[in-house]
């Protein structure tokens, strides 16, 4: 795969009253590597991906996705364009079955790819739903109410919903938060599988996860990018060491 | 799974419709006329429930839609010499337009603000009807009996107020409402509306333009309510401001909550139960609203999801 920059931000800024959460950030994503953003709490990681996914609008600056300025597009438009965000705190339809949860995502992406004006038939949807659930290891849970799943499975369901949206850029916001060690290992394997076909942007606190997955790391602090590089470069960066060890 | 659900529930609706069709031959006159009334009001409640039960939007202004259908029908027959069919079509188009325009404004808000905005729009129409009383006959209302003419079926002439005509027209409308809403709810569009009710932010982030789906739900619900109003005018030939009052916006909310919001058959049951409850208690005491209120409170305590909602939760899972 040729290395192509497909998303970049240009002096992206987001202010909340007097607080600048993201400040003049020039950030770029390439299609040939798993990219992770790390940084202490309040560094602006989540705000940055919220800006990219369209959940928040920038105060100034722009976001260029595949050559097009998407800064003012609605979040729904961006999902349609392939930027899919997976929530830090799981956000699923708790009262609906797992089937319905994934079907909601499937029916939109299918309708878009098949360019159908009318809705896609239910049997085609059912087929894709069971594939999506299978890919995250939730086969057979179709009829279970999503809210009754164990937390780790809810996270997986959320990933299944995101994958079913046919993403080109999948943003995973702290996917391992609240998971047990065994579940984390499963998830790492799953993410490695996903990255074969989808670009992944990872936000993560767990350094072990970052260093086992990421091929490129951006370190944020106080709303700005502090350092960027390969995992080993970051590990040996004195500033980053100071930031994390508090020297 | 989905298909089974659809077939089951269409069967159930078919059964309900069949029973309602058959009992007209054995109902005493008084109940016969009550049932006609209930079926028209129930179709109004079904329209209301489409918005509340399936999209999660609570409106306090649905009387506006009902009354605009009703007044369009009445006034166009009275002043423009329209036939009932023309009046119905005109009323439908007008309510559709009003729903869209209203939705474009009201849907910029949500939750309690949406409730207040719908209430204000509803009151605006009510006050407008009173204000232009020279044209609308204000509080007195008016009758269109003498303008209606007759309905010819198989070469025989009937009056619209004929009990059999009235009953079966109401039944046809109810049947159409039940079937259409069931099909939409179990279609992919229904799935999106339910998703909006459950988690609007997530639905948006699955790539759906939530606003346009809410506008669709509101327009559909408003238009159906308008058609109910127009049919009410036609079959009972009376048009009055009681149908534009806030009271008439709250009623479908209560019927729906009693029967079960988010169930297709619930509004029909709720309307029927409430109608007979008021009918029965007002025969005993003039302070019937107090008793009705207490019964409602108790129902909400024992059946928080309404009658059908609770049934579905406990026993009949496939109920749409």
Q: Confirm if A91 and A142 have CB atoms less than 8 A apart.
A: no
pLDDT tens digits, B82-95: 888 999 999 999 99
**CB proximity B43 to A under 8 Å:** no
**From A76, A85, A126, residue closest to B208, measured CB to CB:** A76
Share of chain B above pLDDT 70, in %: 97
Residue-number span of the structural domain to which A189 is assigned: 5-82+167-245
In the A/B pair of chains, how many CB contacts fall below 8 A? 70
CB contact under 8 Å between A76 and B3, yes or no, is: no
For residue A214, being part of any structural domain is answered with yes
Q: Which of A141, A159, A177 is the endpoint of a domain?
A: A159
Residues of A within 8 A of B309 (CB-CB) are: none
**CB proximity B317 to A under 8 Å:** no
CATH of the domain at A16: 3.40.50.300
Residues of A within 8 A of B202 (CB-CB) are: 87, 91-93
In the structure, what pLDDT confidence band is assigned to residue B243 with cuts at 50, 70 and 90?
A: very high
For position A14, what pLDDT does the model report? 93
Give the closest-approach CA distance of B261 to chain A in angstroms.
Answer: 15
- The DSSP line for A29-81 is EETTS-EEEE-STTSSHHHHHHHHHTSS--SEEEEEETTEE-TTS-HHHHHHH
**CB proximity B210 to A under 8 Å:** yes
For position B228, what pLDDT does the model report? 96
A44 and A19 in a single domain? The answer is: yes
The C-alpha atoms of residue B210 and residue B214 are separated, in whole angstroms, by: 6
A24 and A124 in a single domain? The answer is: no
**CB proximity B204 to A under 8 Å:** yes
For residue A178, being part of any structural domain is answered with yes
Residue that the structure tokens 């369209």 belong to: A54
Sign of CA dihedral B222, B223, B229, B235: negative
Q: Confirm if B62 and B226 have CB atoms less than 8 A apart.
A: no
pLDDT tens digits, B168-212: 999 999 999 999 998 898 888 999 999 999 999 899 989 899 999
CB contact under 8 Å between A76 and B2, yes or no, is: no
Give the chain A residue whose CA is nearest to the CA of B191: A104
For position A59, what pLDDT does the model report? 93
Position B314 pLDDT exceeds 70 = yes
A145 and A182 in a single domain? The answer is: no
The C-alpha atoms of residue A182 and residue A203 are separated, in whole angstroms, by: 20
Q: Which of A159, A182, A201 is the endpoint of a domain?
A: A159
For residue A197, being part of any structural domain is answered with yes
Q: Which of A109, A125, A159 is the endpoint of a domain?
A: A159
Q: Confirm if B243 and B229 have CB atoms less than 8 A apart.
A: yes
**From A109, A119, A122, residue closest to B189, measured CB to CB:** A119
Average pLDDT, chain A: 87
For position A124, what pLDDT does the model report? 86
A65 and A132 in a single domain? The answer is: no
Position B318 pLDDT exceeds 80 = no
Cα R_g (chain A), whole angstroms = 18
For position B111, what pLDDT does the model report? 85
pLDDT tens digits, B130-162: 999 888 898 888 888 888 777 777 777 778 878
Residues of B within 8 A of A93 (CB-CB) are: 195, 198-199, 202
Domain tally for chain A?
2
Higher pLDDT, A197 or B121: B121
The pLDDT of B36-40, averaged and rounded, is 94
3-state SS record for chain B = CHHHHHHHHHHHHHHHHHHHHHHCCCCCHHHHHHHHHHHHHHHHHHHHHHHHHHHCCCCCCHHHHHHHHHHHHHHHHHHHCCCHHHHHHHHHHHHHHHHHHHHHHHCCCCHHHHHHHHHHHHHHHHHHHHHCHHHHCHHHCEECHHHHCEEEECCEEEECCCHHHHHHHHHHHHHHHHHHHHHHHCCHHHHHHHHHHHCHHHHHCCCCCHHHHHHHHHHHHHHHHHHHHHHHHHHHCEECHHHCCHHHHHHHHHHHHHHCCCCCCHHHHHHHHHHHHHHHHHCCCCCHHHHHHHHHHHHHHHCCCHHHHHHHHHCCCCCC
* C-alpha dist (Å) from residue A4 to A1, A64, A65, A199, A200: 9, 13, 12, 12, 14
A78 and A171 in a single domain? The answer is: yes
Position B1 pLDDT exceeds 70 = no
Share of chain A above pLDDT 70, in %: 96
Average pLDDT, chain B: 89
The C-alpha atoms of residue B76 and residue B183 are separated, in whole angstroms, by: 33
pLDDT tens digits, A9-46: 999 999 998 888 999 999 999 888 889 999 888 888 88
For position B100, what pLDDT does the model report? 96
In the structure, what pLDDT confidence band is assigned to residue A1 with cuts at 50, 70 and 90?
A: low
For position A239, what pLDDT does the model report? 85
For position B221, what pLDDT does the model report? 97
A54 and A174 in a single domain? The answer is: yes
A149 and A174 in a single domain? The answer is: no
A57 and A110 in a single domain? The answer is: no
For residue A88, being part of any structural domain is answered with no
C-alpha torsion angle, residues B78, B82, B86, B87 (rounded to 10)? 0
CB contact under 8 Å between B1 and A107, yes or no, is: no
For position A246, what pLDDT does the model report? 64
For position A17, what pLDDT does the model report? 86
**CB proximity B3 to A under 8 Å:** yes
Position B120 pLDDT exceeds 80 = yes
A227 and A108 in a single domain? The answer is: no
Higher pLDDT, B271 or B263: B271
**CB proximity B194 to A under 8 Å:** yes
For residue A34, being part of any structural domain is answered with yes
For residue A87, being part of any structural domain is answered with no
CB contact under 8 Å between B206 and A96, yes or no, is: no
What is the ipTM, given to two decimal places? 0.84
* C-alpha dist (Å) from residue A120 to A58, A113, A115, B111: 35, 11, 10, 32
pLDDT tens digits, A76-128: 999 999 999 988 777 899 989 999 999 999 988 887 777 666 667 888 888 89
Residue A225, number of CB atoms within 10 A of its CB: 20
A145 and A186 in a single domain? The answer is: no
A172 and A76 in a single domain? The answer is: yes
A17 and A71 in a single domain? The answer is: yes
């Amino acid at each position: 795969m040729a290395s192509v920059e497909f998303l970049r931000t240009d002096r992206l800024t987001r202010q909340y009253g007097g607080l600048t959460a993201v400040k003049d950030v020039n950030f770029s994503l390439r299609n040939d590597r798993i990219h992770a953003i790390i940084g202490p709490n309040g560094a602006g990681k989540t705000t940055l991906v919220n800006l990219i996914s369209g959940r928040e609008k920038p105060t100034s600056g722009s976001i260029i996705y595949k050559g097009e300025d998407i800064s003012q597009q609605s979040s729904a438009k961006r999902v349609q364009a392939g930027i899919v965000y997976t929530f830090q705190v799981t956000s699923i339809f708790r009262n609906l079955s797992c089937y319905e949860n994934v079907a909601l995502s499937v029916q939109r992406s299918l309708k878009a790819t098949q360019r159908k004006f009318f809705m896609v038939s239910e049997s085609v949807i059912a087929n894709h739903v069971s594939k999506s659930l299978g890919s995250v290891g939730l086969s057979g849970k179709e009829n279970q109410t999503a809210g009754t799943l164990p937390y780790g499975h809810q996270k997986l369901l959320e990933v299944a919903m995101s994958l079913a949206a046919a993403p080109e850029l999948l943003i995973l916001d702290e996917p391992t938060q609240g998971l047990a060690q065994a579940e984390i290992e499963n998830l790492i394997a799953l993410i490695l599988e996903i990255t074969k076909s989808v670009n992944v942007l990872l936000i993560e606190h767990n350094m072990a996860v970052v260093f086992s997955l990421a091929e490129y790391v951006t370190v944020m602090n106080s709303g700005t990018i502090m350092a960027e590089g390969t995992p080993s470069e970051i590990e040996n960066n004195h500033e980053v060491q100071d930031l994390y060890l508090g020297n | 799974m989905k298909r089974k659900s659809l077939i089951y529930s269409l069967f159930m609706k078919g059964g309900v419709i069949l029973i309602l069709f058959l009992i007209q031959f054995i109902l005493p006159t008084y109940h016969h006329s009550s049932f006609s009334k209930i079926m028209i009001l129930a179709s109004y409640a079904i329209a209301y429930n489409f918005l509340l039960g399936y999209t999660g939007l609570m409106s306090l202004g649905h009387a506006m839609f009902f009354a605009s259908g009703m007044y369009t029908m009445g006034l166009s027959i009275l002043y423009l010499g329209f036939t009932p069919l023309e009046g119905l079509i005109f009323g439908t188009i007008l309510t559709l337009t009003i729903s869209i325009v209203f939705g474009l404004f009201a849907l910029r808000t949500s939750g309690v603000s949406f409730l207040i905005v719908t209430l204000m729009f509803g009151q605006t129409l009510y006050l407008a009807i009173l204000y232009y009383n020279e044209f609308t006959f204000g509080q007195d209302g008016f009758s269109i009996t003498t303008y209606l003419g007759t309905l010819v079926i198989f070469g025989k002439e009937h009056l619209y107020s004929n009990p059999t005509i009235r009953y079966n027209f109401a039944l046809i409308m109810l049947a159409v409402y039940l079937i259409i809403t069931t099909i939409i709810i179990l279609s992919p569009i229904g799935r999106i509306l339910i998703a909006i009710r459950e988690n609007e932010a997530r639905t948006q982030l699955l790539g759906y333009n939530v606003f346009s789906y809410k506008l669709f739900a509101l327009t559909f619900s408003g238009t159906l309510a308008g058609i109910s109003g127009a049919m009410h005018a036609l079959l009972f030939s009376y048009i009055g401001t009681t149908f534009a009052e806030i009271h008439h916006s709250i009623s479908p909310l209560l019927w729906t909550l009693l029967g079960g919001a988010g169930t297709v058959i619930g509004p029909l049951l709720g309307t029927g139960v409430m109608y007979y409850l008021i009918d029965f208690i007002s025969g005993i005491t003039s302070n019937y609203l107090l008793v009705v209120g207490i019964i409602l409170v108790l129902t909400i305590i024992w059946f928080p999801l309404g009658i059908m909602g609770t049934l579905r939760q406990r026993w009949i899972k496939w109920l749409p």
